[in-house]
Structure 1
Amino acid sequence: MGPRRTEIKRHLPEEEIDEILREAEDKHHIRRIGFVKNLYQGDTIPEAADREGRSPATGTRWAEDWNEGGFEELMPSFGGGRPPKLDEDQQEELVEMLREDQPWKSQEIQHLLQEEFAVEYSPNYLGTFLRDLGLSYAKPRPKRPHQPENPDEILEERVDDALEEGDKSHNKREGEDDDGWVVDDNICTDGGTVLGFFDASKPQPYDNSRRVWYVDDPHIERPLVKTEDSAVGFYALNGESLITFKETEKKERICEVLEGIREQNPGKRILLVLDKHGSHVCKHTRKRAHQLGIDLIFLPSSSPHLNPIEKVWDYLKWTMCPIIVEDEDEFKDLVEDTFDQITERISFAKKWCQKFLYFQKLS
């Protein structure tokens, strides 16, 4: 399907436009007259703009101005007041440069202005100037290079596949031997399905980003409690949640947590949504999970936003960081109590359920 064509009003005959173009001397006028001439010749707006060295967005604006008032509306006006350091065309050229290699630091833009246009703006005015050009100022968002283009679709397919019960092991990969891939004799999984989310975190009982009240000294002098252990949690939608502390996140410790999850949720099949941490995807963990009647649903790469337990951790850390504790044991007890209270709510996974889950398949 080709570019969409905008109906261009023919305010003047083409012969008259040719005459105006021959007599024009100002480069800004010549570019705009040529743009209209291109449209008369049948170009789309992007094609007409490209012939004049301008972007499709600029072409769209020019076409709207022409349709609204002909050359009187289309031609630039620089009269009145102090002339800008960059005229309209130069400003558009600058925006295209900034778009090509974005994002930019303020110092980099100052250097670009000096090198390309031989102008300089004061640091205090530069922000105003750039915002007037339509730029935004915010913290950069790092891209996740390994995230697929369609992580939602991938996860939806994996959830649907896991919900379809059968004799196959969802944890086993093609080509792996059959030795050990047998559900333990004492495990029962015919009483329905429990679905939950699995992850580890390292909450701490302090947060320097939170504001505090003080009379005349904001510094904290009391010793801060700290733990080196990881909190490993299971946020269950329709079962019993679990949190425990482990000194490492190695496969043996992760399997101990899986055993705890099984103990907390007897008699049912368990579906566990988790990321691709090395100790999660290794054969040792996948096999042990199968023996426990736990089917693992791995998130697409670099997609932590698809795991609702991330929101649980964020809320837990935000809730606990102002609380003062005496020692590490007290802190861990507090984390466990807080986690238990928070995970009674399924609101953290509401949108996830609406997107990926069919509740009737959990019965």
Structure 2
Amino acid sequence: MGEDRRKEIKYHLSEEKIDELLREAKDDRRKERLGFLKNLYYGDSIAEAADREGRSAATGGRWADAWNEGGLEGLMPSFGGGRPPKLDEDEQEQLVEMLREGQPWKSQEIRHLLKQEFDVEYHPDYLGKFLRELGLSYAKPRPKRPWRPENPEEILEERVDDALDEDDQPHNKRKGDDEEGWIVDDDICTDGGTVLGFFDASQPQPYDNSRRVWYVDDPHVERPLVKTEDSAVGFYAVNGTSVVQWKETEEKEQICEVLEAVREQNPGKRILLVLDKHGSHICEYTRKRAHQLGIDLVFLPSGSPHLNPIEQVWKYLKWTMAPIIVENEDEFHELVKDVFDQVTQRVSFAKSWCEKFLDFQKFP
């Protein structure tokens, strides 16, 4: 209901007319809704106006919708006779709180709850309309990663700030790591500014059929059965040169080979690289080699791939390439490299990320 609380309210009646109706009102329910309307006229948000009348924001949202769509008659739908609702407003608010506590729900579960708690039944064809009027949404549930922290964005913001605050200690080093080898290579220069980029691996395939296509009478695509077991390991640079390489595995040695290519393509600058906590990324071998290359690693909070813009790069790459026909695996590998180079020319995938997490005063 967040957007609804700030929606534009239509002025079907003048304030003077609302005051007159309030003085004449005998029914408490009518007074309550007119008072809510007057609060809106005074500039309250929907949530504030409803709260002043002892109602929830969800109820306020329904009242505002009814007023905008039907004026006074819409706001007072059941006060002129007719069959009363199966649940009064207090019971409807009680139901919403029950549904909020146990969400998400199947339709059958809600019908059982209504029968058990309120002794009422709704026909399946009407139940959806009734629930939408209460402010509920109907959609596929999104899985919640149990290992994701409650505040992943705050954690990432703090890690980016720490990485930008350069000091004498290796940023990638952790307590308990070996003492030897944490020295930047002699031939590495990092004083020419900072390159920001995002790192991840993916396994695109040439037979993706998720995109719709136009056809006359046959939607099938004949193609040789080409498949690759390799991983595309990519670096999406916001202000530098992006890199992608195909690797047989995602083991630490091959990941470090990609980091070396990232350094080669972005010389003379410090590299700030955001990546997830894959085992080959977070191990001491990779963290040490990254430090030697002048690359500071910023690890995403656990279970937070949505905070890595390169995920959108891979998604867009797969969408633009499908469906495709290639002769062999090598041709597909080259095609992915070409498309990755084109797609990563766009900085729009990372625009909101930079606005949210990057302190531009610290970013050189």
Range 128-137 or range 353-362, more displaced: 353-362
| 1:237 alignment partner in structure 2 | 238
* Alignment partners' CA distance in 2, 1:233 and 1:290: 19
- 1:212 to partner: Cα distance: 2.6
| 1:35 alignment partner in structure 2 | none
| 1:247 alignment partner in structure 2 | 248
* Alignment partners' CA distance in 1, 2:126 and 2:224: 45
Q: Secondary structure at the match of 1:162?
A: helix
| 2:285 alignment partner in structure 1 | 284
Q: Percent identity?
A: 76
* Alignment partners' CA distance in 1, 2:321 and 2:311: 15
- 1:152 to partner: Cα distance: 2.9
| 1:298 alignment partner in structure 2 | 299
Is 1:131 equivalent to 2:124 in the alignment?
no
Question: Structure 2 matches for 1:15-26, cutoff 5 A?
Answer: none
Report Cα offsets for 1:203-229 as digits up to 9, x if no partner.
Answer: 223433322333344345544433221
The one-letter amino acid paired with 2:297 is L
- 1:312 to partner: Cα distance: 1.3
- 1:94 to partner: Cα distance: 2.6
Asked if structure 2 preserves the Cα contact closer than 8 Å seen for 1:200 and 1:233, the reply is yes
Is 1:97 equivalent to 2:98 in the alignment?
yes
| 1:268 alignment partner in structure 2 | 269
| 2:142 alignment partner in structure 1 | 141
Q: Secondary structure at the match of 2:113?
A: helix
Report Cα offsets for 1:243-295 as digits up to 9, x if no partner.
Answer: 01112212121111111112222232222111111111111111111122211
Range 112-121 or range 95-104, more displaced: 112-121
* Alignment partners' CA distance in 2, 1:56 and 1:132: 14
Unaligned runs of 5+ in 1: 1-8, 10-19, 21-27, 33-44, 50-54, 65-73
| 2:45 alignment partner in structure 1 | none
The one-letter amino acid paired with 1:236 is A
Q: Secondary structure at the match of 1:141?
A: coil
The one-letter amino acid paired with 2:283 is C
Asked if structure 2 preserves the Cα contact closer than 8 Å seen for 1:308 and 1:349, the reply is yes
Cα separation, partners in 2 of 1:358 and 1:134, compared to 1, 3 Å: closer
Cα separation, partners in 2 of 1:209 and 1:185, compared to 1, 3 Å: same
* Alignment partners' CA distance in 2, 1:91 and 1:270: 56
| 2:327 alignment partner in structure 1 | 326
Cα separation, partners in 2 of 1:57 and 1:340, compared to 1, 3 Å: closer
The one-letter amino acid paired with 2:109 is E
Q: Secondary structure at the match of 2:273?
A: strand
Kindly report the root-mean-square deviation, in angstroms, between the aligned alpha carbons of the 2 structures. Answer: 3.5
Asked if structure 2 preserves the Cα contact closer than 8 Å seen for 1:242 and 1:261, the reply is yes
Asked if structure 2 preserves the Cα contact closer than 8 Å seen for 1:201 and 1:230, the reply is yes
| 2:310 alignment partner in structure 1 | 309
* Alignment partners' CA distance in 1, 2:97 and 2:191: 62
Asked if structure 2 preserves the Cα contact closer than 8 Å seen for 1:48 and 1:59, the reply is no
Q: Secondary structure at the match of 2:246?
A: strand
The one-letter amino acid paired with 1:276 is K
Q: Secondary structure at the match of 2:130?
A: helix
| 1:338 alignment partner in structure 2 | 339
| 1:357 alignment partner in structure 2 | 358
Q: Secondary structure at the match of 1:301?
A: coil
- 1:86 to partner: Cα distance: 3.7
Asked if structure 2 preserves the Cα contact closer than 8 Å seen for 1:196 and 1:271, the reply is yes
Asked if structure 2 preserves the Cα contact closer than 8 Å seen for 1:169 and 1:290, the reply is yes
Asked if structure 2 preserves the Cα contact closer than 8 Å seen for 1:194 and 1:362, the reply is no
Range 79-88 or range 333-342, more displaced: 79-88
* Alignment partners' CA distance in 1, 2:180 and 2:289: 12
| 1:204 alignment partner in structure 2 | 205
Asked if structure 1 preserves the Cα contact closer than 8 Å seen for 2:59 and 2:93, the reply is no
**TM-score, normalisation: structure 1:** 0.74
Report Cα offsets for 1:131-183 as digits up to 9, x if no partner.
Answer: 12221112223333333343333323322322233321001012323112222
The one-letter amino acid paired with 1:357 is L
* Alignment partners' CA distance in 1, 2:76 and 2:129: 25
| 2:43 alignment partner in structure 1 | none
- 1:310 to partner: Cα distance: 1.7
The one-letter amino acid paired with 1:257 is V
Cα separation, partners in 2 of 1:171 and 1:84, compared to 1, 3 Å: same
* Alignment partners' CA distance in 1, 2:60 and 2:271: 55
Q: Secondary structure at the match of 1:339?
A: helix
* Alignment partners' CA distance in 1, 2:121 and 2:221: 44
Unaligned runs of 5+ in 2: 1-18, 20-25, 33-49, 65-74
Cα separation, partners in 2 of 1:357 and 1:76, compared to 1, 3 Å: closer
The one-letter amino acid paired with 1:311 is Q
* Alignment partners' CA distance in 2, 1:168 and 1:186: 19
Asked if structure 1 preserves the Cα contact closer than 8 Å seen for 2:59 and 2:134, the reply is no
The one-letter amino acid paired with 1:316 is L
* Alignment partners' CA distance in 1, 2:58 and 2:324: 55
The one-letter amino acid paired with 2:274 is V
Question: Structure 2 matches for 1:98-247, cutoff 5 A?
Answer: 98-220=99-221, 222-247=223-248
Q: Secondary structure at the match of 1:197?
A: strand
